[in-house]
Structure formats: structure tokens, C-alpha cells
Amino acid sequence: MKRLLNIHEAPTILFTLLIGIIFAFISPAFLGLDNVKLILDQNTTTCIVAIGMTMVILLGGIDLSVGSVLALTATSVGLFLSSGMSPWLASLLGVAVGVLCGIFNGYFIAVLNIPDIIVTLASMYIFRGLAVGISGGTWMTNFPSQFQFFGQGKLLGISFPLLVAIILVIGFVLLLKFTRFGRRIYAIGGNKSAARLAGIGIAKSKFTVYVYSGMLVGIAAVIFASKVGSVQASTAGSNLSFEVMAAVLIGGGSIFGGIGTIAGTVVGVLLMGMIKNGLIIAKVSPFWVDAATGFLIILAIVINTLQHVRQNRRKGGELI
């Protein structure tokens, strides 16, 4: 038991359980099998995007542009489809668009060394503008029926998007845990100068992370487009980056870098999803959802800073 509590994510998991119990009391439907399925299904895109954001935050970085990347990719897929491309090819090209966005961010951040907050703030508007531009400002709908498989299909009795999310989560957990690339991310986030001394190429790792992040958003976008069945470029994923950031921080990721896991992030995503779902089931105004997200971000940074201060105090004495 004690060992369980020592896990970094323990507080988040406990908190998630607590929230679940509270909602179950308010509304018995909350814990119904259908609703649980719904929560899982509703959060697959967020979860996939959050994998990339976890890596970015592990590096000590930030990415505001993921929502716009999602919009741009989803719109592109819509365009590809409407030009009669096969769903598979269109989706693949869509993911490639995501990768290109990642390369764009990575180039400015890692190669040109411009602060990530500025680059992703700018690219957030650039990608969004492009998305609206190529969509012509209208809704993209009428996707071919085969395309629906990506967002609504089932494989082996499990919904396809959920399956993709699970595979990606497992894949990236392994990548972070068992490859030199993954460990470099932790090393850079933990102590940049020590990483440099150990001969780790910081720019290269950063660049790769942003490219991976772009790719993941691309995959999420395909699922998103297929599930919703329509894309409006100007609003798709508009609050996504903030929600995902909140999920990572709540899941135990440190804004100072180096600390956090994908497993924790997944719990964070589930927690956010539960709160959203629970608020709706409890018939509270859906507008509270955004307020709650913002509050959770602030809560997460408060906890984050407290932990950081506590650790530094132990190291460096009581000097302020």
C-alpha cells in the first residue's frame, strides 16, 4: 500500500476516483457501462494529442498550437476526401500535414532557437488561418461512408479510435522508457547543462519531439474528423491545447520539465473527461467546463510550484 502511494501519480489517481464517486452519487447514470464507454470514446483525440504534449512539457517546453494543427489537418483530410481520394490515402496525407506542422514548429524552436511560447503562439494563428483559408470558410461534411470507420468503426469489438489510442499510448510509453531518444527527453528536461556535458544533442531531440507531436495531432485529427463527421476550420480544437496542457500538468507533469509520464497524462485526460461528462450529466451549465479547465490549470501550476519549491529548499538550504 505504501509503495502504491509512493507512485508519483498516486494523488491524481486518488483524486480521479474521488471525483468519480462524487459524480456517481449525484447521478447514478454516471457509472453506467454506456457512460463509461462514452467517456473513453469522447477523449480519444485529446488523449492522443496529450501524448505529444507530455513529451513537449517533459522537455520544459510548451505548445499552444496543437488545436490549430488539428484544425488544419482535419480540414486537409476533408479536402482530400472531397477530391475523391481513398480514405486511407487521405488520412495518411492528413497525418503528413500534421508532421509538416511539427517540422515548422520544430525548425523555429530547435534550429532558430526562438522561444517556444512565441513560435507556437504565432503558429497557432498561422495554422488556424490556413485551415480557414483552404476550407473556404465553410463546413466540411459529407465524408464517404468508409471514412467513418476511423472514428466510429469497431475492431475486435473495441471502438477503432480507442484501439488506436491504446496502441499509441503503449507505443510511446515504451519509446520513452526503453529508447535512448526517450531517456534523452527526460535528461534534457532534468538538467540541460548536464545533458550537454553528456553529449546529448538538445536541438535534435527537441526537433524530433515537435515532429512526433505534429504526427500525433495528425492522427487525432483524422479520428476527430471521422467521428464528428464534419469539420469547421475556425472552431475545431479551439481550446484543445489548453485542455491538453491541463491534462498533462494534472497528470503529474512538471512545467519545469523532466518529470511526468504518459500514464499520468492518460489519468489526467480521463479526469478532465470525467469532469466534463459529469458536469453535463449533473445538468450543470456546460459553460462551467471551461471554467473548470482553467481552474485545474491554475491548480496544477500551484501544486507544481509548491513541489518545486519544496525540493529546492531541501537542496539549497533556506536561502530565498
Q: Are 217 and 73 in contact (CB under 8 A)?
A: yes
Cβ at position 291, least distance to another protein in Å: 3
C-alpha cell at 36: 463509461
Chain positions 50 to 79 lying near another protein, rule: CB under 8 A, are: 62, 64
Residue 305 within binding range of another protein, rule CB under 8 A: yes
Chain positions 165 to 204 lying near another protein, rule: CB under 8 A, are: 177-180, 183-184, 186-187, 189-191, 193-195, 197-200
Q: Which one of 1, 4, 33, 112 is in contact with another protein (CB under 8 A)?
A: 112
Complex with another protein: residue 227 or 276, whichever CB lies closer: 276
Q: Which range, of 10-18, 210-218, 245-253, 266-274, touches another protein by CB under 8 A? A: 245-253
Residue 153 within binding range of another protein, rule CB under 8 A: no
Q: Which one of 27, 163, 239, 280 is in contact with another protein (CB under 8 A)?
A: 239
Closest by CA to 217, choosing from 275, 131, 301, is 131
**Residue that the C-alpha cell 498561422 belongs to:** 126
User: DSSP of 13-47, one letter per residue?
Assistant: HHHHHHHHHHHHHH-GGGGSHHHHHHHHHHTHHHH
Q: Which one of 128, 206, 227, 276 is in contact with another protein (CB under 8 A)?
A: 128
Residue 107 within binding range of another protein, rule CB under 8 A: no
What contacts 132, CB < 8 A, 6 or more positions away?
233, 234
- d(C-alpha 180, C-alpha 174), whole Å: 11
Q: Which range, of 45-53, 126-134, 141-149, 221-229, touches another protein by CB under 8 A? A: 126-134
- d(C-alpha 281, C-alpha 268), whole Å: 20
